[in-house]
Each structure stands twice: as C-alpha cells, then as structure tokens.
Amino acid sequence: METTKRRMPTGTLVLAAVLTALVIILQFMGTFIRFGPFAISLVLIPIVIGAATCGVKVGVWLGFVFGVVVLLSGDAAAFLVVNIPGTVITVLVKGAACGLMAGLIYRALEKYNRYAAVAAAAIVCPLVNTGVFLLGCALFFLDTIRSWGAAAGFEGSLQYMLLGLVGGNFLFELGSNIVLSPVIVRLLNLGKRK
C-alpha cells in the first residue's frame, strides 16, 4: 500500500526557514528591550506572517521556536526557579498556541477579506500569547504571584498579573501588531503575484 505524503513547496520551506531565523534574532534582541518586568515579544509579527503565508503548521512551528528562545534567553528565569516543568509547559504552549490560532483565524477569514484576516490574526496572536501566559501563571505560580504582587504593592494577584506582569507589554504588542498588519497584507499581495 502506497502512502502519499504532501510535501511543502520549496518556496514555503525557504520562507519558513527565513522566518524561523527572524524569530530567533528578534526574540534575542527583544531581551534587551523591556517594557515593565519582561521583554517585549517582537516576534509576533513574523509568526503572523508565517501563519498567513505558509499555513497553520508553520505558524505553530514559529510559535514553538519563539517559546524555545524565550527559555534559552533567560526571559523565563524568574519562573524557572519556581517551577521548571510549569515554566516549560507555559512558555512552549503559549508560543505554539499563538501561532496556531493566528493561522486558523487567518485561514478562516482569508476567503472573505484578506485585510480582515490579517488584522484578526494580528490581534489574536498577542491575545493568545498573553492569555496562555496568564493561565500558566494561575495554574503553576499562583502562590509566587501573590507574594510578588504583595511585594510590589498590588492588592491582589489578579491585579498584579494584569497590571504588573502583562499590562504594558500586552498593549505594546497588540498595538504594534495592529499597526503593522497592513504591511503584512502588502507582503502577502506581493507573494501572491509571483
């Protein structure tokens, strides 16, 4: 019995490789750019581009690579000290999930309107990234979050998680994704012409 495997076109593989390198470079560079206690995720735009141009699998791959680089760069060091498995799970799942959801949203909306598809994917990517991070904090680090929040002067752990951990970062990431989404559409239009 012969099985047929659908292979990715060479152009898609090359673009996926270039975007993988870009994710690695931008995330390592992002460790030096901080808005609050954590580095800003500059890699979400390449993840959206990869998910839109190359498909959901590449979006998941790029998100996973993003998570691996976060672990290697030291951005998750404060959490690794508390709970290694919880940190690894949270970081890898949040990365892969943001690529997955960006790809699924883009694919679902592209047939109706490419601009809307890109904008929705660009919005969903940081929402999922931040949402899974917050869920991981609640599941694996709640006692630590409570003590960090109290030490920082926050009244509760939820307030600290939303305002102290992710507030500024999330707004910056969401804003930059929304602002740059028309650029993604132009890149997609260039790619479709060739």
- Sign of the dihedral defined by the CA atoms of residues 102, 104, 106, 108, in that order: negative
**pLDDT tens for each residue of the chain, 194 residues long:** 445 566 778 878 888 898 999 899 988 887 676 655 555 667 888 999 899 888 999 999 999 999 999 999 888 888 999 999 999 999 999 999 999 999 999 999 999 998 899 889 999 999 999 999 999 999 999 899 988 888 888 888 888 888 877 777 787 788 777 887 777 777 666 655 55
Query: What is the pLDDT, as a whole number, of residue 68?
Result: 95
Query: What is the pLDDT, as a whole number, of residue 173?
Result: 81
Distance from chain centroid for Cα 179: 16
Beta bridge partner(s), residue 34 = 39
The whole model's pTM is what?
0.85
Q: Return d(Cα 175, Cα 169) in angstroms, integer.
A: 10
Q: In terms of DSSP H, where are the helices of the chain? A: 10-30, 44-54, 56-73, 77-80, 84-110, 114-140, 142-151, 157-159, 167-193
Number of Cβ atoms within 10 Å of the Cβ of 53: 20
pLDDT per position as a tens digit, 73-91? 888 888 999 999 999 999 9
Query: What is the pLDDT, as a whole number, of residue 1?
Result: 47
